[in-house]
Structure 1
Amino acid sequence: MKKIRIFAFVSFVIGAVIISVAFINCKSGAKTNQNDNLKFNGKGFALVELFTSEGCSSCPPADELVAKVQKEVGDKPVYILAYHVDYWNRLGWKDVFSSADYSKRQNEYAHWLNLSQVYTPQIVVNGKTEFVGSQEERLRSTIKSGLQGSGSVQLNLGVTLNANNTASVQYKVEGNTGSASNVISLALVQKQAVVKVERGENGGRTLAHAQIVRNLQTMPLNKNNGSATIALPAGVEARGWEVIGFVQNTNNGAVLAASKSLVKVSADVGQQDKNIQ
C-alpha cells in the first residue's frame, strides 16, 4: 500500500511538471508569434488610422492598444494616426481633440469600404482593411501584411519649424502613382496626452492618448514634389511632435505610400530637419 501511494505521488508530480512546462512553452510561443507580427519582412508599410473619442466607453482599450504598438514598432515603417471624432460630443463631454474633419474622414472610409455606418473605435489599415479598434491580433496580423507589401511608391518628408508657430513640410514622391485622383495628406501629430474626463461615458476616468492628429491637410498630388505649411495649435511647443504624410487614391481609399518626420525644436529655428525617413 505504501509503495502504491509513493508511486501515485511521483506520477502526480511528474504530470504537474509536464503540464507546467507545456504552459510555459505555450506562453513563450504566443509571445514570439505576437512579436513576429511586427517583423519587417518586405518593402511595405502600414498606415494605421484609429477613429476614437473620449466620450466612448469602448475606446480606451483601443487607445491603449495603439499606444502599445507604437512603442514596439521602433524604426519600422508603421505610422499610427488617432483621429478624435466629434459626434460623441453631444452626449455630455466635449473631446478637446475632436474635429468634424475627422468625422468626415471616417465617413469617407464608410463610402470607400461599403459600410452602412461608422462606429468607434474603428481602425483602418492602408485604407483597405477595417475592424474594431481593440482587436489586437487582427491589428498585428494586418500590420504584418502591410509590411510584407511591395512598396512600389516611396514618400520622403522633411520639416522646417518656422518662427510663427507653423511648420513647413517638403515632400517628394518616387515611383509611379498611376492615377490623377491621388492626393497627399499631411497630419500633424501630438505624440501623447493625458486628460481627466469629467462627464459622459468615461466620466471620472483619466485617459492616456497617443499619436493624436491635431491638424490634417489634404492636397491634390499634381506633381511628385512640393511643400505645404501646417499651423501648430496655439500655446503648445513642437517638441516631440511629428508629421506623418501619406499618398492616397481617392477613387477607392487605398494608401500607396507613407512616411514621417519629427518636428524638432532647436536653437536655430528654421533649420531643416535632417531626420528624413
Structure 2
Amino acid sequence: MMPRPIITALLALFLALPVLAPPALAQSSEGYIQPFSSPNGGGAGFGFAPNGAPGGNAVPELGLPETAPPTTLPSALNPAMPVAPLPGPVLTPISLETPPAPIVVEFFTSEGCATCLPASDYLRELAQRRNILPLSFHVDYWDYTGWQDRFADPAFAARQRAYAAARGKSMMYTPQMVIAGAIESLGTDRKAVEKGLKKADRRHAMYTLGLSKDPSGGIHLNLPQATLSVPASLWLVTYAYEGVTDIQAGENRGKRMVSANVVRSLRKVGNWTGMAEDRLITLTADEIARKPDACAIIANEAEFGPVVAAAAWDFKDLW
C-alpha cells in the first residue's frame, strides 16, 4: 500500500491541474450540432486554412474557431439566398413607324398588270394614314406578257396563293388587297377596300409588339402574353418606302409605276404560342444587301390566317 503522505501529495497535484472545457457547439434552428471539421482537424469551409490554420483565431488542438461559424450558408450552398442575375446586353428601344396595332394591307401587284397602276396610286394614299401598314408584294406571274417586274419574287406569289387556299379558293388575281390577313378586295374598288378597313378596325383587338436592339445589331422582339386559338407564324418583312419604274414593254409600256412600301424580302422567323417572351432576330446578309428602308413583323394566326400583331420600324434605327 502506498504511504498516505504520497497519496496526499498526488491528490493535491491533481486538484491543481486546469479543467479543460468541452468544445463549443454551434447552434442551429433545431438545437445543437457538432461544428464542421475536416479529417485533419481543419474547418471544411467558412474561411479555414488547411491543416487547421483558421482564417481567424482558433484552438490549434481542435481546429475550431473561438466564435461559432456563420449560421447562414453562402448563396452557392443555400438556394434560399438571392443570387444576382448575370448582366445582359444593354438594349435600346426602337421607335415604331406604326401605332401599336396597325391594320396591315397586303397589296399583290405587278408592273405588267394594266389595272395595277391606279390601285398602286390608291395604296400610296392609304400609306398616308397613320393606322395603316400597307405593303406592296410584286408577283411574278405577269412577267410572261413581255415585261419582267424587277421587284417580283416567287415567294410573294406563294404568299398570295396561300392566302387564297386558306379561304378555300384557287384563283389569284391582281390588283388584290388582303386586309388584316382576313378580308380580300379588288385593289381598284375603293368602296370595298374602305369597308374592309372599317371591318378590320372593329374586329378583335390586336396585340402590341415591342422592339429593341443590342450593341451587336440583334433585334429583340418583345412578344406579350396573348390568348391565341392557334400558334401564330412570325414573318419578317423588309421593304423600300418607294419604288419607281418606267415600264418599257408589256401592257403598261410607256407608263411609270410608283409603288409604296415595296417588299424586298419575306422570311418566316418562328412561331408564337401566346407566351410572353423576348425573341432575338437577326437580318441575313442577303436581306441587308437589298438595302431596305424599313422592316416589319407580321404575326398571322396559323400560317396565313388573320393578323394578330404587327409592327414596323426604320432600317436605319438598327445601327
Task: Give yes or no for TM over 0.5.
Answer: yes
Distance apart, 1:169 and its partner CA = 3.2
Could you tell me which of 170, 190, 206 is aligned with 1:136? 190
Equivalent-residue separation in structure 1 for 2:168 and 2:261 (angstroms):
27
Structure ranking higher on relative contact order (CA contacts 8 Å, 6+ apart): 1
Could you tell me which of 197, 204, 207 is aligned with 2:247? 197
Write the letter of the residue equivalent to 2:249: R
Question: Which has the larger share of helix?
Answer: 1
Equivalent-residue separation in structure 2 for 1:169 and 1:46 (angstroms):
23
Q: Cα deviations across residues 142-178 of structure 1 (Å, max 9, x unaligned)?
A: 222323344252222346798xxxx743212213142
Q: Cα deviations across residues 35-67 of structure 1 (Å, max 9, x unaligned)?
A: xxxxxxxx8531100000001111111111110
Partner residue, 2:158: 104
Q: How does 1:116-127 map onto structure 2 within 5 Å? A: 116-127=170-181
Distance apart, 1:202 and its partner CA = 0.7
Partner residue, 1:31: none
Partner residue, 1:53: 110
Write the letter of the residue equivalent to 2:245: V
Partner residue, 1:229: 282
Distance apart, 1:218 and its partner CA = 0.9
Residue 64 of structure 1: SS of its match in structure 2?
helix
Residue 90 of structure 1: SS of its match in structure 2?
helix
Equivalent-residue separation in structure 2 for 1:104 and 1:235 (angstroms):
20
Equivalent-residue separation in structure 1 for 2:148 and 2:142 (angstroms):
8
Partner residue, 1:18: none
Distance apart, 1:111 and its partner CA = 0.5
Unaligned runs of 5+ in 2: 1-99
Given the superposition, is the C-alpha separation of residues 252 and 90 from structure 1 closer, same or farther in structure 2, using an over 3 Å criterion?
Answer: closer
Equivalent-residue separation in structure 1 for 2:223 and 2:300 (angstroms):
12
Given the superposition, is the C-alpha separation of residues 160 and 64 from structure 1 closer, same or farther in structure 2, using an over 3 Å criterion?
Answer: farther
Could you tell me which of 62, 68, 93 is aligned with 2:147? 93
- TM-score (normalizing by structure 2): 0.62
Given the superposition, is the C-alpha separation of residues 81 and 168 from structure 1 closer, same or farther in structure 2, using an over 3 Å criterion?
Answer: farther
Partner residue, 1:207: 257
Q: Contact 1:63/1:209 (CA < 8 Å) preserved in 2? A: yes
Q: Cα deviations across residues 106-150 of structure 1 (Å, max 9, x unaligned)?
A: 100110112231000111011111010111122222222323344
Equivalent-residue separation in structure 2 for 1:91 and 1:103 (angstroms):
16
Equivalent-residue separation in structure 1 for 2:311 and 2:278 (angstroms):
14
Partner residue, 1:173: 223
Unaligned runs of 5+ in 1: 1-42, 272-277
Q: How many residues align?
A: 216
Q: Does 1:145 align with 2:202?
A: no
Given the superposition, is the C-alpha separation of residues 69 and 90 from structure 1 closer, same or farther in structure 2, using an over 3 Å criterion?
Answer: same
Given the superposition, is the C-alpha separation of residues 46 and 161 from structure 1 closer, same or farther in structure 2, using an over 3 Å criterion?
Answer: farther
- TM-score (normalizing by structure 1): 0.70
Equivalent-residue separation in structure 1 for 2:123 and 2:196 (angstroms):
13
| The 10-residue stretch of structure 1 (85-94 or 95-104) with the greater mean CA deviation from structure 2 | 85-94
Structure having the higher Rg: 2
Equivalent-residue separation in structure 2 for 1:213 and 1:160 (angstroms):
25
